[in-house]
Amino acid sequence: MISHISDAHIACITLGCAKNEVDTAHMQQRLRACGFSLTDDPENADAIIINTCSFIQSATEESLEAIFEAAGYENVNAGAPLIVTGCMPARYGDDLAQELTEACAFVPCSKEDDIAEVVAHALGVPLTTKEEMPQDEFALMSPGVFAYVKISDGCDRFCSYCTIPFIRGRYHSFTYEAISKEVSQLVKQGVKEIVLIAQDTGRWGSDFEQPLSLAWLVNKLAKAFPHTWFRVMYIQPEGITDELLEVVEQHSNVCSYFDIPLQHVEPALLKAMNRRGSYEEFIELINHIKERVSNVVLRTTLIAGFPGETEEQFENLCSFVEEGYFDYVGVFAYSREEGTKAYNLPDQIEEDEKNYRAQTLRDIADNVCALKVAERIGKTFEVLIEGSEEDGQLYGRAQCQAPEVDGVTYVDNGIPGEIIPVTIEDTLLYEMEGA
């Protein structure tokens, strides 16, 4: 029986992408500010928060598995409340409460600011009023050398296959003040690389009364934190402006790295996706970026098996990847999601065929991209040392390697958080090795 908030240890389990990790960190901040203790041991926690992902069916299934697993813990059976937050409650609303009796409360993304009240209520402990709460600064529980910072939430693009605008709501940028405060606290905690994320980073600031731009934001952050690396993920093709290219080229602490989700190269399919572009337009964009930014590294994501994708259209997509315009390519099989426009499109492709196409595209990407990574042998890169593997092997990442998706660089010496020059001696698929 918990009699006081400080006796309550709360565990958070996060599913899904980096954006969800940031949301969990914000909820933890609120809980800590209200006097709760945090633990990373859910089986001994007094309450468990499961921050779910639900943007595609497989993510929903993974979230459900995590909920069912937690529901089997002894502490939960003995009464520790299970609270489900994030995308699942946002996507499925009240239906979820009826279906998922394992959980005692559901908090959609838009209500996560109320997490402390929900947890206090579930535990039956009084909550200190917000006014009396210490204003804790944003701080990660266990910061590494890099951290994600969300610069906006929601999306207005309504790509026909995507549930995000329904889950996360309309696009809204966070203010520079809020973003820089968070960056500042993370830098104080020893974070050396800030990865700016959002559903649509390129639109940052366009919704302000006095509109601002992503280029403005990155320029200001790069100047304010000159010893910190900045990297921007998820810039839609329309978000690549000359102003942004100039800012990236100007600042050595802004990674010359663009993550541009293209999804496909066929105009008809892009139109059906409620997106724009074509093979030729994308090549033009890529050449433009390469002309303006030296040693630039490019990543994209593609969807295979979108409804109506013909063999020929798929082959064109394969050719595009084979041409090696991109250093890294993420491939997803189209996922048919209820509530989206694409769900009702004719000519849906069989699951096996979609998976076959996705795997074919992945194999092509692996072959092409591995060769591009191998071209780095003999070149010297600044490498941010991150830590070591279980066997003690030290590793870090160069600016050309985004965290968690592009592989790492193995090194012989260095201290976590240090940035050292490393000459690449060998590569294996996406991993690099050097001294």
Q: Using CB under 6 A as the criterion, which residues of the chain lie in contact with ligand SF4 when the complex forms?
A: 155, 157-159, 162, 164-165, 199-200, 236
- Closest approach, Cβ 160 to ligand SF4, in A, equals 9
**Residue 63 vs 263, nearer CB to ligand SF4:** 263
**Residue 139 vs 345, nearer CB to ligand SF4:** 345
- Closest approach, Cβ 169 to ligand SF4, in A, equals 11
d(CA 92, CA 129): 31
> CB neighbours of 230 closer than 8 A, spacing ≥ 6?
193, 194, 196, 218, 221, 222, 251, 253, 254, 255
- Closest approach, Cβ 157 to ligand SF4, in A, equals 4
C-alpha dist (Å) from residue 299 to 2, 45, 69, 282 = 49, 40, 35, 13
Q: Which two tokens stand for residue 148?
A: 């994600």
- Closest approach, Cβ 420 to ligand SF4, in A, equals 36
d(CA 18, CA 140): 13
- Closest approach, Cβ 171 to ligand SF4, in A, equals 8
One-letter-per-residue 3-state SS of 215-250? HHHHHHHHHHCCCCEEEECCCCHHHCCHHHHHHHHH
Expressed in angstroms, the distance from the first to the final Cα of the chain is: 55
Provide the 8-state DSSP code for 342: G
Q: How far is CA 213 from the centre of its chain?
A: 20
Beta strands in 239-360 (DSSP E): 257-259, 297-304, 328-333
**Residue 155 vs 385, nearer CB to ligand SF4:** 155
**Residue 342 vs 373, nearer CB to ligand SF4:** 342
Comparing C-alpha atoms, which of 12, 100, 19, 22 is closest to residue 64? 100
- Closest approach, Cβ 159 to ligand SF4, in A, equals 3
C-alpha dist (Å) from residue 155 to 85, 204, 423 = 19, 11, 41
Residue with tokens 């998706």: 405
**Residue 115 vs 244, nearer CB to ligand SF4:** 244
d(CA 396, CA 415): 10
**Residue 184 vs 301, nearer CB to ligand SF4:** 301
- Closest approach, Cβ 289 to ligand SF4, in A, equals 19
- Closest approach, Cβ 165 to ligand SF4, in A, equals 5
d(CA 1, CA 23): 28
- Closest approach, Cβ 263 to ligand SF4, in A, equals 7
d(CA 15, CA 87): 10
Cβ count within 10 A of residue 109 = 22
**Residue 143 vs 165, nearer CB to ligand SF4:** 165
**Residue 67 vs 233, nearer CB to ligand SF4:** 233
**Residue 213 vs 256, nearer CB to ligand SF4:** 213
d(CA 307, CA 322): 23
